[in-house]
Amino acid sequence: MADVLTADPAGAAASLLARSGRPEPVIELADAGKTYRTGSIEFEALRGIDLEISAGEYVAIMGPSGSGKSTLMNIIGCLDVLTRGSYRLGGEDVSELDEAELAEIRNRRIGFVFQQFNLLPSLSALRNVELPLVYGRVQRHDRKTRATAALERVGLGDRLQNRPGELSGGQQQRVAVARALVGEPALLLADEPTGNLDSTSTLDVLALFDQLHAQGRTIVLITHELEVAERAARIVWVRDGVVHTDEVTR
């Protein structure tokens, strides 16, 4: 995997800047299509997406419900594969990576925050946040320290032992954000990360994303809220499975 996705995101972005004067694209989708098949019914959720996102960019994806935003995010995060077109991540053609390489990328390079929090209900907040580190073979003591720090960072230092069912929706989403951050990923993908948060928690999470962006991380965030999207430097509007507009906001 090219260095845009390796451990030191700020350094990697800086070295790319130095080499070419502009950061290289970390995400490159060309004529990307995704057709879902349900029995004999086909649905074309992505109908030819052309999109490049460079290392260190902060991009918001907006669009109506059902327009293909989550589908696109799943493709970018290597959770699903295209049915046509190409996707290059960090310079590599994702279709040529095997399952072990994809799992490695998902676990070490990408942090996910999903629309549904996807927390394990039987585990405490702390154990949920530790999980990516378990898969990443981090030692137990180090895991606990890092997971505690990540939860403190999202304001949940006093809820470490609570299970998801004992937390509010906003608190669960913050646990999910902590889990996405704990591995210090170079690429953060967030699907409606503030959808269930009150305005104070929304601002907290957005401030956290600003910090991560300032550290050189690449962030792609889906949102329905313009105020959230405006924190990003670029807004990509998806409509009916294609990029409708792509605007740099500052």
- With vertex at residue 119, the alpha carbon angle to CA 224 and CA 239, rounded to the nearest 5 degrees, is 25
Does 43 bind ligand ATP (CB under 6 A)? Our answer is yes
Find which of Mg ion, ligand ATP, none residue 136 binds, CB within 5 to 8 Å per kind. none
Among 13, 54, 69, 206, binds ligand ATP (CB under 6 A): 69
Does 45 bind ligand ATP (CB under 6 A)? Our answer is yes
When the beta carbons of 116 and 168 are compared against ligand ATP, the nearer one is: 116
> Which string of DSSP letters, residue by residue, matches 189-246?
EEESTTTT--HHHHHHHHHHHHHHHHTT-EEEEE-S-HHHHTTSSEEEEEETTEEEEE
Among 3, 58, 71, 187, binds ligand ATP (CB under 6 A): 71
Rounded to a whole number of angstroms, the minimum distance from the CB of residue 64 to ligand ATP is 7
When the beta carbons of 67 and 201 are compared against Mg ion, the nearer one is: 67
Find which of Mg ion, ligand ATP, none residue 124 binds, CB within 5 to 8 Å per kind. none
Q: Is the dihedral of CA 156, 161, 164, 168 positive or negative?
A: negative
| Interface map 10-39 toward ligand ATP (x if CB under 6 A) | --------------------------x-x-
Does 234 bind ligand ATP (CB under 6 A)? Our answer is no
Rg of the chain over Cα atoms, rounded to whole angstroms, equals: 18
Rounded to a whole number of angstroms, the minimum distance from the CB of residue 238 to Mg ion is 10
Neighbours of 116 (CB within 10 A): 12
The amino acid at residue 226 is L
In the window 68-87, what residues touch Mg ion (CB under 5 A)?
70
In terms of phi and psi (left: phi > 0; alpha: psi -120 to 50; beta: otherwise), the region of 66 is left
Binding site for Mg ion (CB under 5 A): 70
